[in-house]
Amino acid sequence: MIVSVIAKTATTSILRNKTRSLLTTLGVVIGVASVILLTSIGNGLTVFVEEQFQNLGSNLLIIAPGDIVNDEGGFNQESAALSLSSSKLSLSDVKALARIGNPVTAVTPVIEGAGEFRSPQGKKQGIIVASGADYTEMRNTKAALGRFFSNADVNGSRKVAVIGDKIASELFAGSNPLGDTITINRIKFEIIGVVEKKTNGGFGGPDLDSAIYIPITSAKTALGLDKISYLLAQVDNKNNIPYAKRKIDEVMLKRLNEEDFSITDQSEILKTIQTILSTLTLGLAGIAAISLVVGGIGIMNIMLVAVSERTKEIGLRKALGATPNNILVQFLIESAVLSTLGGMIGITIGVVGALLLRSFFPATPSLNSILLAFGVSLATGIVFGVFPARKAARLSPIEALRYE
């Protein structure tokens, strides 16, 4: 019996029991769809994080207080909070770093803290970001309405504020906030601009649309914030970042001890986050792959039932000359077809689901995950189909014909 005839016989047997065949493949369908959807979500998280880092500026070095960056480039969370509260960074450090010149094109200090914001329409908790006039360019933070504060505002310690998009919509709904005042921790500031929408603050990230940006001198005089959270240094080209990092380290070591500061760049932070997200994606895919194993067990159980139901048919085929290998191949083909069918349906559901998610989140189905899920589903069908196929192949034709 040639393979094409065996395949036709196997396909006919599957089509004879459409409902049972479809239910048999359900576990594989769920498994494949889950793998594709979860890996798409994991890939989407990576894209989302990369986009947010692009929104926060490029070619930046961050000089943070304390030894909060470990040898792998990640954050030492245990000492981060303590270091920020006892920061030894100062405005004189900014002047010293600015004297480095090329490739360091700009340096600015940043003070961040929580605050309560009030307007006649209500109040809201958010983030206070106090910095120099260079912050707008370095952090790619532009004003959608009005303007960002200038060097004159910083030098004059003016009580001016640029508010986030969410603050504008919640505390100044239906009106143009430019020229109005907003109370920050009981101190009134004049609103001179509204920042363009940055992020929704999802996935544990800071809600930058609930931030208010003020001159760093105003933070010190009006709000009493005097501990510098970190310094930002912009480099002219990403290829010059290692050299700029060494020069900054040399300058800072003349002013502070090695344990009093850390220098890192956004690519290192991004690399650490990407490693975490890749591990998370693999873990999610592994959990989803369990469904494929369950689906394979389902195929094996149904095929065992099929062997019992078709015992006489197997005996008749053997009596007419079918070899054990013919029977083995027939049942393996049936199992493979079932798993392949489940894989194709699962791929369709997974890809369509990922595309639907793109309306809310950058879910990105990858060709590798699709091929891997399909390959595993096919292998699952073959592996779990071996036992029923061997059982069918070993049946004695005489005993099979007697079977009731």
- Is the pLDDT score of 212 beyond 90? yes
Residue 333, pLDDT score: 78
**pLDDT over 90 for what percent of the chain?**
19
Structural domain spans, the chain: 3-51+274-402, 107-234
pTM (predicted TM-score): 0.63
- Is the pLDDT score of 72 beyond 60? no
Helices (H) and strands (E) in the chain, counts: 15, 10
Residue 76: CA atoms inside 13 Å, Cβ hemisphere, count? 18
| pLDDT tens-digit readout, 96-151 | 998 988 888 999 999 988 888 999 999 998 889 999 999 988 888 888 999 999 99
Decide which of 7 and 35 is more confident.
35
